[in-house]
Amino acid sequence: MKITRKNFVRGDVAAVPPSVALGALNNRFGWAQAADFDSDVDVLNYALTLEYLEAEFYRQGNSAGLLSGKEMQYLDAVQADEDSHVATIAATVKQLGGQPVAAPAVDFGDSFASRESYLTTSHVFENLGVQAYLGAAGFISDKAVLQAAAGIFGVEARHAAVVGNLLGLEAEGGVYMGATETPLDMAQVLKAVTPFLAGAGAMGEGAAVTL
């Protein structure tokens, strides 16, 4: 059976064959589940939720006075990027006739206790963002949206690498995560962000995801 984007987008995941092409890339594909998204608006609201988390994380983190010099400049730029992603994705949801989800209530715990804990949590968020975008990409049907989402995905990868390097992590496995990025599906992503959400109901009414 020929796999088209159209039937993939509709969630016909069972139709996806074990692909030799993907095998060649030695990729462990965590496609989002068929029921995760019904439309581009769904995918974008999922992305928006993660971007809200990141934007708020950097707003708090950069206000904590933990960084200086080049590190501060870099993290300021990261915050500006996440703010831009929030604004851009929310505008896109509206343009597609959807309703942007509300920002979740968050609790970053001890993340801002030190420079190291801040950057370590940042590294987690950025890599998670990369994996979330990749896992959901196949569900975007509008090609202009898809191309722009790919451009956001790449920026999250940049953030992840640079923060990993600021932490002095091993190049492979710290700065880079292998020769290819690894996607995660929505359930895996939500499990990873749950510790940063302020309890059940944190996603708010009309949220893309519920806990």
Least Å from the CB of residue 182 to another protein: 7
Least Å from the CB of residue 2 to another protein: 9
Contact 46, 37 (CB under 8 A): yes
What span, in angstroms and rounded, lies between the C-alpha atoms of 91 and 116? 34
38 is a contact residue toward another protein (CB under 8 A) = no
Contacts with another protein, 173-192, as mask; x by CB under 8 A: --xxxxxxxxx---------
What span, in angstroms and rounded, lies between the C-alpha atoms of 157 and 82? 13
What span, in angstroms and rounded, lies between the C-alpha atoms of 90 and 48? 7
Contact 12, 34 (CB under 8 A): yes
* Pick from 158, 165, 162: nearest CA to 181: 158
SS3 175: helix
Closer of 25 and 105 to another protein (Cβ): 25
Least Å from the CB of residue 60 to another protein: 20
Closer of 161 and 208 to another protein (Cβ): 161
Closer of 179 and 200 to another protein (Cβ): 179
134 is a contact residue toward another protein (CB under 8 A) = yes
What span, in angstroms and rounded, lies between the C-alpha atoms of 21 and 9? 20
Q: Tell how far CA 79 is from the center of its chain.
A: 14
Residues 6+ apart with CB under 8 A from 11: 34, 35, 37, 38, 139
Least Å from the CB of residue 81 to another protein: 4
120 is a contact residue toward another protein (CB under 8 A) = no
Closer of 65 and 178 to another protein (Cβ): 178
12 is a contact residue toward another protein (CB under 8 A) = no
Least Å from the CB of residue 121 to another protein: 19
Among 1, 14, 24, 200, binds another protein (CB under 8 A): 24
What span, in angstroms and rounded, lies between the C-alpha atoms of 167 and 170? 9
Residues that bind another protein (CB under 8 A): 3-5, 8, 16, 19-22, 24-27, 29, 31, 44, 74, 77-78, 80-81, 84-85, 87-89, 91-92, 94-96, 130, 134, 137-138, 142-155, 157-162, 165, 171-172, 175-183
